[in-house]
Amino acid sequence: MKNFISKIEAHIKKPEKGLNENLFLFLTRLTPMINVDLLIKDFKNKKTLLSWRKKGEVYKAGWHIPGGIIRFRENMINRINEVAKIELNTKVKIYPSPIKISEIFLKQKNRSHFISLLFLCELKKKISDKNMKKLKLKWFKTAPKNIIKPHKIYNNLINEFNISSLYKKT
pLDDT digits (tens, 9 = 90+) for 45-102: 999 999 999 987 767 899 999 999 999 899 999 999 999 999 999 999 999 899 999 9
Q: For residue 24, is it within any domain?
A: no
**% the chain with pLDDT above 70:** 97
Judge whether 63 lies within some domain.
yes
Tens of pLDDT, residue by residue over 16-34, are: 777 888 888 888 899 999 9
**Number of residues that this document lists for the chain:** 170
- Enclosing domain of residue 43: 36-168
Residue 13 belongs to some domain of the structure: no
- Percent of the chain at pLDDT above 90? 69
Q: Is 23 within a domain?
A: no
Whether 6 maps to a domain, the answer reads no
**Residues 116, 106 contacting (CB under 8 angstroms):** no
Q: Residue 104 to residues 30, 69, 112: CA-CA distances in angstroms?
A: 15, 13, 8
pTM, two decimals, is: 0.90
Count of C-beta atoms within a 10 Å radius of residue 94: 17
Would 91 be classed as within a structural domain? Answer: yes
Name the nearest CA neighbour of 30 among 56, 7, 59, 8. 8
CATH of the domain at 49: 3.90.79.10
CB 116 within 8 A of CB 33: no
State yes or no: pLDDT of 125 exceeds 80: yes
> Sign of the CA dihedral 119, 124, 129, 130?
negative
Compute the average pLDDT of residues 127-134: 96
Average pLDDT rounded to a whole number, residues 129-133: 96
| pLDDT band for position 169 (cuts 50, 70, 90) | low
- DSSP letters, 27-77, are HHTTSPEEEEEEEEEETTTTEEEEEEE---SSS-SEEE--EEEPPTT--HH
Residue 140 predicted with pLDDT over 90: yes
In a domain, 26, yes or no: no
Count up the domains in the chain and report the number.
Answer: 1
Instruction: Evaluate whether residue 97 is within a structural domain.
Output: yes
DSSP string, 73-130: T--HHHHHHHHIIIIISS-EEE-SS-SEEEEEE-SSSSS-EEEEEEEEEEESSPPPHH
